[in-house]
Homo-oligomer: A and B are copies of this chain.
Amino acid sequence: MSIRYALLGIISKKPVTGYDVVTIFKQTMIYFWSSTHSQIYKELHKMEEEELITHQLVIQGTSPNKKVYSLTDKGKKDLIRWAIEEPLKPAKIKDEFLIKTTIFPILSAEEINQLLDEVIEREQSILAKTKEWKEHFNSQGDSDIGTILTVEYGIRYSEMYLEWCKWAKQMIQDKA
């Protein structure tokens, strides 16, 4: 159900198409939520049925037509109500690599090292992209406090992860 409020949050900043919602979602929210265009389009339809958003059809001569969504009053009220009244659900992480970590005792040193290197590479690449996005966002002169805070979260998360990997490597070497 929270995906709904993530999308309402995006639309609350400015009117956007479904396609834009997907793009913005992936740019600004992958650090703490995940979804696909498939789920997002469905949720937009549901929210429109419930009158939380409306759309205006924009006929574009040549390129495909598009629906530009904006919040209704009801939508804005519901978004704020959710933010301040709805009790916080605990955060959920699903990280396969950490499952693999639990069975390190039955893997060989090489296998463990390969896995760790793989995950370090993955995380470094994510961190680089996040920093790039932060630079891009800063250079736009945009100062949306929400975006500033969540991008920083993304960076800190990746940095913590990489530190932990480095520590884990050391730990394993010491134990061997």
Contact = CB atoms under 8 A, between A and B. Distances in A.
A37 to B, nearest CB: 16
Contact of A99 (B5, B147, B172): B5
A31 interface: yes
A5 B97 CA distance: 11
B150 A94 contact: no
Interface of A: 2, 5-6, 9-10, 12, 28-29, 31-34, 76, 79-80, 83-84, 88-107, 111, 114-115, 118-119, 122, 144-150, 152-153, 156-157, 160, 163-164, 167-168, 171-172, 175
29 contacts: A2-B99, A6-B102, A12-B103, A28-B102, A32-B93, A32-B95, A34-B94, A76-B106, A79-B103, A80-B106, A83-B100, A83-B103, A83-B115, A84-B114, A88-B96, A88-B100, A88-B115, A88-B118, A88-B119, A91-B94, A91-B95, A91-B96, A91-B97, A92-B93, A98-B153, A101-B150, A102-B146, A104-B149, A156-B160
